[in-house]
Homo-oligomer: A and B are copies of this chain.
Amino acid sequence: MRDVCVIGIGQTPIGELWGDSLRDLAYQSLQAAVKDAGIEKPEALFVANMLAPRLSNQAHLGALIANHVGWRGIEATTVEAACASGGTAFQAAVRAIASGMIDVAAVCGVEKMTDATSGHITAALATAADADYEGAHGASFVALNALIMQRYMHEYKVPHECFAPFSINAHANAVHNPNAMFQKAISLETYTRSAVIADPINLYDSSPISDGSAAIILCPLEMARDLSVNAPIRVLASATATDTVDLAGRQNMIDLYAARLSAQKAYQQARLQPQDIDVFEVHDAFSIMAALSLEAAGFAEPGKGVDLAQAGEITIQGRIPISTMGGLKGRGHPVGATGVYELVDLVTQLRGEAGPNQVPNAQFGMTQNIGGTGATVVTHILSQEL
């Protein structure tokens, strides 16, 4: 098994990008990534996307994007696991290189959501849930997350405003990210006064509907040394685990079994512990998910994720900084691309290029990309040291 490195990253701004098509967004992030890596083109492209078949009438994105970028002939495919598509596509690229079958691979997460009507988008997002046992009853994706948050508040006797620090931290960090969708800070008052979307989830507990694309170039460690690439970042662990897609099938809906299992596998692969991790890009599609991810990954006991946030430990200066470039909440959440954005943000941190948002002395970083309400979870651990 060969060791694998990230040698290039690229991204588009996230927003309502009505002037750019799906393939153009992918083109922009991939061009930026190959330029960053100093390579001409990869041998293989792994596209992460969830919604194009429904919102853009377009499947088959691998070949479509490879050719649009001018890489006719290369291997290309799409990897999908709902909102965890980005993490799984990155994992596929890591393995292609680790196996020795591919030397240079590109990962491109891309999603174009805002051209569709809101009803159409809501129905498309619900395909991340169980169509027969949840969707058929009219449960939207935000409603399912609201059930989890309600249960958490009930079990642990936590008032809603305890979740405010997740949103405030994400928005504060997004201010300094030029690619973030919402580059503005919010106050506690803004959070508590915001409109309820699906009780108890309010507007500021929710990530936005977004367009965007992020890309990563990977190669074997020995090749990264030969290429004398600027600051290659090593992949120490890549682990996916699953749980039931339907909430009703779980023994405990406020303990993310797949997130816990995936994190355990990742720590084992990297030979690290939670205390070794300097920065953690969480999947804060809803603030409840940030709390549960911190707990599942071993940074807080069950029910104590909100305490960690209340204590200021999730900020850039805290014990375990999360959503350092704005997270899904502030940076934006183009669903299929999100897992790749998380990794791009982490690489930015480990390279020491995060500017005002830089986590001091970040050596080991982790991402956790969550599909559905926790049914697929992909954990990656990256290292600044080779």
A245 at the interface (CB under 8 A from B): yes
A242 touches B62 (CB 8 A): yes
Mark interface residues in A35-67 (1 if CB within 8 Å of B CB, else 0).
000000000100000100110111110111011
A375 at the interface (CB under 8 A from B): yes
B54 touches A371 (CB 8 A): no
A88 at the interface (CB under 8 A from B): yes
Query: Provided the pairs A60-B82, A375-B60 are in contact, do residues A243 and B126 lie with their beta carbons within 8 angstroms?
Result: no
A155 at the interface (CB under 8 A from B): no
B376 touches A67 (CB 8 A): no
Q: How many residues of A contact B (CB 8 A)?
A: 64
For A61, give the chain B residue with the smallest CB separation: B80
A242 touches B98 (CB 8 A): no
A123 at the interface (CB under 8 A from B): yes
Query: A54 vs B78: C-alpha distance in the bound complex, in angstroms?
Result: 16
**What is the interface of chain A mostly: helix, strand, loop, or mixed?**
mixed
Query: A123 vs B58: C-alpha distance in the bound complex, in angstroms?
Result: 10
A86-141: which have CB < 8 Å to B? Answer: 88, 91-92, 94-96, 98-101, 123-124, 126-132, 135
B72 touches A244 (CB 8 A): yes
Query: Provided the pairs A76-B81, A81-B77 are in contact, do residues A66 and B127 lie with their beta carbons within 8 angstroms?
Result: no
Give, as a whole number of angstroms, the nearest-CB distance from A70 to chain B: 11
Q: B residues within 8 A CB of A80?
A: 59-60, 62, 77-80
Query: Provided the pairs A81-B62, A101-B95 are in contact, do residues A240 and B57 lie with their beta carbons within 8 angstroms?
Result: no
Q: B residues within 8 A CB of A371?
A: 60, 63
A238 at the interface (CB under 8 A from B): yes
Give, as a whole number of angstroms, the nearest-CB distance from A336 to chain B: 10
A257 at the interface (CB under 8 A from B): yes
Query: Provided the pairs A59-B127, A60-B372, A371-B60 are in contact, do residues A242 and B79 lie with their beta carbons within 8 angstroms?
Result: no
Q: Of B56, B79, B99, B242, which contacts A67 at CB under 8 A?
A: B242
Query: Provided the pairs A67-B243, A76-B240, A241-B73 are in contact, do residues A50 and B57 lie with their beta carbons within 8 angstroms?
Result: no
B99 touches A53 (CB 8 A): no
A100 touches B56 (CB 8 A): no
Query: A81 vs B65: C-alpha distance in the bound complex, in angstroms?
Result: 12
For A97, give the chain B residue with the smallest CB separation: B99
Q: Of B62, B95, B241, which contacts A96 at CB under 8 A?
A: B95
A19 at the interface (CB under 8 A from B): no
Query: Provided the pairs A95-B95, A375-B64 are in contact, do residues A57 and B135 lie with their beta carbons within 8 angstroms?
Result: yes
Query: A237 vs B347: C-alpha distance in the bound complex, in angstroms?
Result: 34
Mark interface residues in A244-265 (1 if CB within 8 Å of B CB, else 0).
1100010000000110010000
B77 touches A59 (CB 8 A): no
What would 24 A/B residue contacts be, using CB atoms closer than 8 Å?
Answer: A1-B100, A1-B101, A23-B132, A53-B53, A57-B126, A60-B82, A60-B376, A62-B81, A62-B376, A63-B244, A63-B371, A63-B375, A67-B243, A67-B244, A72-B243, A73-B258, A74-B242, A75-B240, A76-B242, A76-B376, A77-B80, A95-B95, A95-B99, A99-B99
Q: Nearest 4 CB-CB pairs, A to B?
A: A98-B99, A63-B375, A60-B82, A1-B100
- Extra pairs beyond A60-B128, A73-B241 (6, CB < 8 Å): A1-B99, A56-B131, A58-B130, A60-B376, A62-B80, A64-B375
